[in-house]
Structure 1
């Protein structure tokens, strides 16, 4: 067998592994991306769930196609992530409540969200240009741990009302002690999702836990519909995502997005500077942390500064088409690598599969139960919380005091 034949076989094997890895990663990334999009946009109001659904999908597509093309870290999968959802949700809550000094109407918040993500993307390219990829590793572990744990807490607090189906505006404490306010169908769907996600790794290693949980939640929803036919109504149904609204041409949507960004006044820009800075740092840390773990797994070495550039370009593309910002995520990355993904092509293939899902599966995605997404996010939030942080607090008290205070930035943008 000559050298050329060996090379062709290796290249074929590489493409095959990237294909299967990208497909498996998409199956993990897409439910989470939808969940994070819905989490963010329903902070404006429940009627924005469909817009959040679309934002999550578009973000997964843009990040998947663009970030690997520029960053070129082998095996890395970039998708909308928990830190982005938490920062943007907290910003929305502050703008609606007037905590930032100006109470804004819901329709005026969307351009600010896009501008926040755009500014964060610009900061990421600045970090890459000045070699910030090497500097971020010096951020103390308690700060990173506290921040990510705080994100987990905020996500959990935001998802409990959705899990119980509480009416909008109901205080969480009151809702939890008022069973008459609960939507038992949504709660049952969420509980089934959580149980299956937790049990999945012990049952099979071949299917991602998020996929098993999602299919279980959807199955539970339609099983309940046999006894409650009203659940089969899509319009005005608060228990499902609802119709994904996408009107007009793609280029018109991008033009409208750009126009809305230029309509933001200078006073409003001041409201988003700190959230954008927070978002850029969190997304950069999340990406580089994933890259370090990926290097250990694949025995390779990533280029931190180049990857930050790739993330910036991916987030910029996502903002322009109306998607969620994101980062290199450990969950889908591990699924990609363990399923055969070996090069940066696997990340682009994952993005391509997301586009196919958007084009051909939108009517099915509209029926995804809110309770199932809440269940997935609650499991993710629990896994994000660093239980070892409290042991570190006892060992190193001065450093530890920084950690619990860090999530406060998220609550008060």
Structure 2
């Protein structure tokens, strides 16, 4: 009877929490939907795939990955970082249906990566690099959305690369937009930004989400400008496929060509997509955990399996590859979402908008959606973040700034790789300086030096220990104390024993205290964690 009561009470608690969070998740899902819709279309266009393929990935990423994932705030969908890979793969494989087979296989690879716990790689991304990546995404959003806010939409909405497909780069595109702006787009984007900034400050009015108000304003103003010389053009509006009846809707789906399962190139493409998508996902969820107000931690192995399931289903339906996407996830967090229901609802809104209100959606100006992304970008790259990282010290600030610059000037993965290199340099530098401490005493003409080794002495500490030992003067008593050491690398042990063996030639007497000839690598104690989980 007690079990039934406790189960019932847990159910009631979950129901209460869901109802309470729904007040935040539902409005947030609308914001994410508005941000995701043009991004799905833009990425599909840049990938050389059908526009509907981007929407499939967005719908599956929201509903399927949302349900399976352990992340509460991450939002999945087609990723800008994969556009070049997808475009090249479709051309290389010769048909979109063969590419879909590669995507299904990539999903299988991701499931395997999750099962073998490859997601733990995400735990090794330094905090300074993740913070730098977030700030860089914020800057990219601002720089990339400025042309769209000015009414110049030659580049696809959602592009994150420095060099664009329209033979422009991020900075030249802004310069070009400034000389070819649209007055209607500027009015819509400026008013939209003002509403997004000031509307939430009125608590009684903020029941209506500011982004929804921005969309209503955008549609209204675009209709007003239609009667003037400043009317917006078709390319300055959202453009989703208009479906007339079930037959047309069913015709939008594609199936993989399983007859090409033995094609070597299909497997290579699948492996490439699986690796790149997994890395972007791990970076994405790590970044979202950083900005989560409740500071929850995403189970990375489960996330890889969720992405694998999503990519398999997306491939079976004719969609694009997906990852956890920082832009959509950041918009989700900034909109006030609390649980994964926001991501799931956003997938549902994408599906419903395609089925029932495509004509209304196509009346939304891209300028007002660019305004939403501009405000999101500002929140990600706020000046306070740069000040905070500066006060942490140079070993944190330099990798942070390098990551920001590298991501803005290249792309996400290359930028993070450069940031990681600088972060590893400072990590090695710190490690080399902290393998031991020593104390020197003098008794008459004889010097005594006690070198106490640290708890963990790795191969990285070998050089620092060699430098110290080489610099010890003649006629000295040296005590090397390993009482604190849980592990000493074999190379370091060899250095110590060789020094002891040769030191007598300099009149140096070496005494080793509690130093073993061999150390086993310390094992992680998972029993405590298992007890807590049970």
Are positions 1:395 and 2:382 aligned together? no
Cα distance, 1:364–1:262 mapped onto 2, change above 3 Å: farther
Contact 1:65 1:348 in 2 (8 A): yes
Are the aligned partners of 1:241 and 1:369 in contact in 2 as well (CA < 8 Å)? yes
Distance 1:21 1:315, change over 3 A: farther
Tell me if structure 2 keeps the 8 A contact 1:163–1:371. Answer: yes
Counterpart for residue 114 of structure 2: 128
Q: Confirm or deny: 8 A CA contact 1:218 1:368 kept in the other structure.
A: yes
| CA displacement, residues 144-192 of structure 1 (integer Å, 9 cap, x when unaligned) | 3343444444444443333333374585637736766222222322222
Aligned counterpart in structure 2 of residue 318 of structure 1, from 314, 321, 338: 314
Q: Measure how far apart 1:395 and its partner are.
A: 1.5
Residues 298-348 of structure 1 deviation map (CA, whole Å, 9 limit, x = unaligned): 8x765432233223323433344325624272543575755xx5xx66654
Asked if residue 218 in structure 1 is aligned to residue 219 in structure 2, the reply is yes
After superposition, the Cα gap between the structure-2 partners of 1:170 and 1:331, relative to the gap in structure 1 and judged at 3 Å, is: closer
SS at match of 2:152: coil
Residue 138 (str. 1) matches residue 124 (str. 2)? yes
Comparing 62-71 with 377-386, which one deviates more in the overlay? 377-386
- The runs of 5 or more residues in structure 2 that have no matched partner are 155-165, 416-534
Query: What SS class does the counterpart of residue 244 from structure 1 fall into?
Result: coil
Bigger proportion of residues as strand: 2
Q: Which has the larger radius of gyration?
A: 2
1:91-135 deviations in Å (ceiling 9; x for gaps): 58xx6xxxx8x9969x97977986887676555434422323333
- CA contact under 8 A between 2:90 and 2:96: conserved in structure 1? no
Scaled by the length of structure 1, the TM-score of the pair is 0.71
Give the equivalent residue in structure 2 for 1:88: 82
Superposed CA deviations along residues 26-56 of structure 1, whole A, max 9, x for unmatched, are: 21210111132244245469xx9xx65x555
Q: Could you give the per-residue CA deviations for residues 286-306 of structure 1, whole angstroms, max 9, x where no partner exists?
A: 224435765x728x7654322
Residue pair 1:116, 1:272 contacting (<8 A) in 2 also: yes
| C-alpha distance in structure 1 between counterparts of 2:153 and 2:298, whole Å | 47
Query: Could you tell me which of 27, 35, 39 is aligned with 2:38?
Result: 35
1:65 to 60, 63, 66: 63
Equivalences for residues 326-337 of structure 1 within 5 A: 326-327=323-324, 329-332=329-332, 337=337
Given that 2:141 and 2:374 are in contact with CA atoms closer than 8 Å, whether structure 1 keeps it comes out as yes
Q: Contact (CA 8 Å) 1:40, 1:89: kept in 2 or not?
A: yes
Q: Where does 1:40-59 land on structure 2 (aligned, <5 Å)? A: 40-43=43-46, 52=51, 54-55=52-53, 57-59=55-57
Deviation of 1:366 (Å)? 1.2
**Cα distance in 2, alignment partners of residues 131 and 76 from structure 1:** 22
Count of residue pairs brought into register by the alignment: 384
Q: Equivalences for 1:224-373 in 2 at 5 Å?
A: 224-228=225-229, 231=232, 237-246=234-243, 248=247, 253-254=252-253, 256-259=254-257, 277-291=275-289, 297=294, 303-321=299-317, 322=319, 325-327=322-324, 329-332=329-332, 337-338=337-338, 348-373=344-369
- Alignment pair present for 1:163 and 2:157: no
1:371, distance to aligned residue in structure 2 (A): 1.7
Contact 1:192 1:217 in 2 (8 A): no
Shift of 1:365: 0.8
Which structure ranks higher in relative contact order (CA pairs < 8 Å, sequence separation ≥ 6)?
Answer: 1
SS of residue matched to 2:241: coil
Match of 2:16 in 1: 13
Q: Distance in 1 between matches of 2:138 and 2:259?
A: 30
Cα deviation for residue 226 of structure 1 reads: 4.0
The CA distance in 2 between the partners of 1:319 and 1:212, in whole Å, is 35
For the aligned residue pairs, the C-alpha RMSD in angstroms reads 4.7
